[in-house]
Amino acid sequence: MSTSRERAVADAFAEFSDTLVVDFDVVEFLHTLAVRCVELTGVQAAGVMLADQRGGLRVMASSSEQAHLLELFELEADEGPCVDCYTAGRPTTDPSARARVEGFRAVHAVPVRLRDEVVGVLSLFTTVPGALPEADARTARAVADVTGLALVQHRAVDYRQLLAEQLHHSLTSRVVVEQAKGVLAELLGLDMAAAFTELRRFARSTGRRLSDVAADIGGGDFPPDPPEPPAGRSRVLLIRTISQAGLSKLRAEIQTAVTRHGLTSSQVAAFTLAVHEAMANAIEHGDGARQLILWRYAGSLYAEVGDHGRGMPGGYRIPTEAPDTRPDIPRGLWLINRICAGVDIESSPAGTHLTMRYPL
Amino acid sequence: MVNGAHRDRVVRLVAAFGPDVARLCDACVAVLPGVDGAGLTVMTAQPGQHVRYTSDPISAQIEELQLTLGEGPCQDAHTTGQPILAADLGDVRWQRHWPVFSGEALKAGAGAVFALPLHVGVVRLGVIDLYRTDPGVLAGDELSEALAFADAAIELMLAEQLPGAVPGGDQPFAHRAVVHQATGMVSAQLGIPMAQVFLRLRARAYADEIGLDELAREVVERRLRFTAADTDGES
């Protein structure tokens, strides 16, 4: 193993153990693990499957969320080397899987163990036929071991019962994530991979767990559910793309949505104005597809307006002075700042997102 | 096919005991030696929570207690979406966790309660509580079997809301990601909660005589869209 590769492996494991310390999200964690597995070895795709107490393997994560790849892993979870590996509890290879797995030449499966029990499989696809090189096989085994440990981190109760609970939770989380991907794909016109990326971005930018955010997006905001979300959770009111032609219709949707959350008519007018200014800004100065996400969390309404442009210059500060004293300040931002309790602008290569908070 | 084993189990249970959920629950108590009784509470919406089935006076008490107190394994399974396996209600862990419920349930005659959520992602139908009079875990295959009963109950409860549909059939609720993605997309297309979308998707697959997976793929590949007109036509 080369030195740079050793360092990469060490870095990855440090990252894994960091993830395990905090209140971790199992889908997010397994996704990272699959991505790192591809980066650290010579394989082209990696997937994590866990046994589901109901005696079958279920796909929990894959290195890319492309629908095609996810489906290939699902087929492999039904029969083939992954199932053999799970049953026999040792690494298994199908060195010439071309006929079955379109686009790939070989499938390698490594058992994920917890103490003496096999609880799942790490599955690797390669575009070259034949066995895995020894160094790659070693790395894959290490990644599989970390997966097992992650499932029962720091809880010392009866591990079989814990495993049943944790696995069930993992599988439910996966379903919730798929449902949320569907919602985002439809409302923002994204493919499934881009929808997953957007879901992660939104979870990170709001500092919340991926599966909680996914459940909130999937749950929406429908009566007879009360407008106030349960503790620690949010209610997602609206997810929309923004266009000049659709602005007035969208304003009406915002007004209806926030009225349900108890704003008085003057508050509705003020909040809608602030969001409108941000959307108009995004249309005028932004780039690529523009979008709005509106949600309620911990006693406040939030609106995030985003685009896919290059973003604001580094160190940009939100103006607090009136625009008539500073002609260089866009009127919209000043207004937003006057109306909302908090305004935050986040710029990255993926685009610029302006988030405003309005206390209820 | 390992995965198929569970699917087969669910199909078998649905065929043998459906379409009546109560009959399925009766069978669950009869078949599982470690289970002395069962209760099913419907928890679709906060004010809509009600006890749907109880096998005997003890399970009736367990369900009523939880609805009244707002605490207990059923409530936890509902909010967390995880099975809550309380193998010994006298254990200090559960005594602390449910200060009132654990004592009252013991008095009622339950030594252990296992609560299994009837959830499909964000779609929450309810919870099945299994109890036993003596403390003890659900041994070996019994937990798998209990989970198969829970999945069969999901099948029956979904089918009930869809007149004319055959519950489960040879095509129980699919585990494929594409079905869940399509559910999310159609929920957004129609602006309705996911629980209702399940029925639409299944009704459409049934009417068009195609598999649920196949229908879902058409939605995800944007070859099929649902519109409000479909909704009116079906309701």
Query: Which sequence spans correspond to the domains of chain A?
Result: 3-160, 220-359
Answer whether B177 touches A (CB < 8 Å). yes
Q: Which of A58, A182, A239 sits opposite B180 (nearest CB)?
A: A182
What pTM was estimated for this model as a whole?
0.73
Angle between helices A3-21 and A26-40 (to 10 degrees): 180
Q: What angle do CA B163, B169, B174 make, to 5 degrees?
A: 100
3-state secondary structure of A120: strand
Topology of domain A3-160, CATH: Beta-Lactamase (3.30.450)
Sequence-separated (6 or more) residues with CB below 8 Å from residue A340: A274, A356, A357, A358
The DSSP result for A160-218, as a single string, is HHHHHHHHHHHHHHHHHHHHHHHHHHHHHT--HHHHHHHHHHHHHHHT--HHHHHHHHH
Q: How far A315 CA sits from the closest chain B CA (Å)?
A: 37
pLDDT at B38: 97
* Cβ contact, residue pair B47, A224, below 8 Å: yes
- Of A101, A127, A140, A123, the C-alpha closest to A47 is A123
| Alpha-carbon separation of residue B117 from B74, B144, B145, B171 (angstroms) | 8, 14, 14, 21
Give chain A positions within 8 Å (CB) of B227: none
pLDDT at B2: 38
Q: How far B228 CA sits from the closest chain A CA (Å)?
A: 15
Give chain B positions within 8 Å (CB) of A235: none
Cα B118 to Cα B223: distance, rounded to the nearest angstrom? 31
- Provide the chain A residues 169-198 that lie in CB contact (below 8 A) with chain B: 169, 172, 174-176, 178-187, 192
Number of Cβ within a 10 Å radius of residue A156: 7
* Cβ contact, residue pair B189, A186, below 8 Å: yes
- HSE-CB of A127 using CA atoms within 13 angstroms: 5
Do A252 and A238 meet the contact criterion of CB atoms below 8 Å apart? no
- Of A316, B49, A38, B48, the C-alpha closest to B40 is B49
Q: Which of A39-53, A132-146, A150-164 has the lowest mean pLDDT?
A: A150-164
- Provide the chain A residues 76-115 that lie in CB contact (below 8 A) with chain B: 77-79, 83, 86-87
* Cβ contact, residue pair B121, A186, below 8 Å: no
Give chain A positions within 8 Å (CB) of B112: none
- What is the layout of strands, in order, in the sheet containing B84-86? B50-54, B37-42, B123-132, B112-120, B84-86
CATH number of A220-359: 3.30.565.10
pLDDT digits (tens, 9 = 90+) for A294-348: 999 999 999 999 987 765 555 455 555 555 555 555 677 888 888 899 888 888 7
Mean pLDDT by 10 residues, chain B (235 residues): 63 88 95 95 74 95 91 89 88 90 95 92 88 87 85 84 55 69 95 85 83 89 86 43
Cα A248 to Cα A42: distance, rounded to the nearest angstrom? 52
pLDDT at A95: 83
Give chain B positions within 8 Å (CB) of A230: 79
Give chain A positions within 8 Å (CB) of B143: 53, 164
Cα B156 to Cα B162: distance, rounded to the nearest angstrom? 10
Residue A109: phi and psi, rounded to 5, are -125, 130
3-state secondary structure of A300: strand
Question: Which residue in chain A has the smallest CA separation from B180?
Answer: A179
Domain with CATH 3.30.450.40 in chain B: 2-160
Between A141 and B162, the more confident residue is A141
Position A56 pLDDT exceeds 60: yes
Token reading at B219: 């939605």
Answer whether B176 touches A (CB < 8 Å). yes
CB pairs under 8 A between A and B: 146
Answer whether B181 touches A (CB < 8 Å). yes
Burial of A155 (0-12, 13-18, 19+ CB in 10 A): exposed
Question: Which residue in chain B has the smallest CA separation from A68?
Answer: B178
- Provide the chain A residues 27-66 that lie in CB contact (below 8 A) with chain B: 51-59
ipTM: 0.73
Cα B13 to Cα B168: distance, rounded to the nearest angstrom? 10
Cα B148 to Cα B10: distance, rounded to the nearest angstrom? 5
- Which strand (E) or helix (H) includes residue A343? strand A342-348
Question: Which residue in chain B has the smallest CA separation from A87?
Answer: B2
| Alpha-carbon separation of residue A214 from A181, A211, A240, A313, B108 (angstroms) | 8, 5, 16, 31, 39
Number of Cβ within a 10 Å radius of residue B3: 21
* Cβ contact, residue pair A157, B143, below 8 Å: no
* Cβ contact, residue pair B82, A230, below 8 Å: no
How far is CA B194 from its chain centroid?
15
Per CATH, the homologous superfamily of domain B2-160 is GAF domain (3.30.450.40)
- Which strand (E) or helix (H) includes residue B12? helix B2-17
Answer whether B31 touches A (CB < 8 Å). no
Answer whether B229 touches A (CB < 8 Å). no
Q: Which of A83, A187, A219 sits opposite B2 (nearest CB)?
A: A83
* Cβ contact, residue pair B85, A187, below 8 Å: no
Token reading at A85: 């590996």
As a residue count, chain B comes to 235
| Alpha-carbon separation of residue A72 from A82, A227, B165 (angstroms) | 12, 40, 31
Residue to mutate among B92, B187, B198, B223, with most A CBs inside 10 A, is: B187
Position A260 pLDDT exceeds 70: yes
Cα A63 to Cα A66: distance, rounded to the nearest angstrom? 9
Do A184 and A54 meet the contact criterion of CB atoms below 8 Å apart? no
Answer whether B147 touches A (CB < 8 Å). yes
Cα A110 to Cα A122: distance, rounded to the nearest angstrom? 5
- HSE-CB of A176 using CA atoms within 13 angstroms: 30
Cα A210 to Cα A199: distance, rounded to the nearest angstrom? 7
The distance in angstroms from the start CA to the end CA of chain A is 57
pLDDT digits (tens, 9 = 90+) for A215-249: 999 999 998 888 999 888 999 999 999 999 999 99
pLDDT digits (tens, 9 = 90+) for A78-133: 788 899 999 899 999 888 776 566 778 889 999 998 777 888 899 999 988 888 99
Residue to mutate among B1, B94, B180, with most A CBs inside 10 A, is: B180
pLDDT at A155: 41
* Cβ contact, residue pair B220, A192, below 8 Å: yes
Cα A140 to Cα A291: distance, rounded to the nearest angstrom? 39
pLDDT at B57: 96
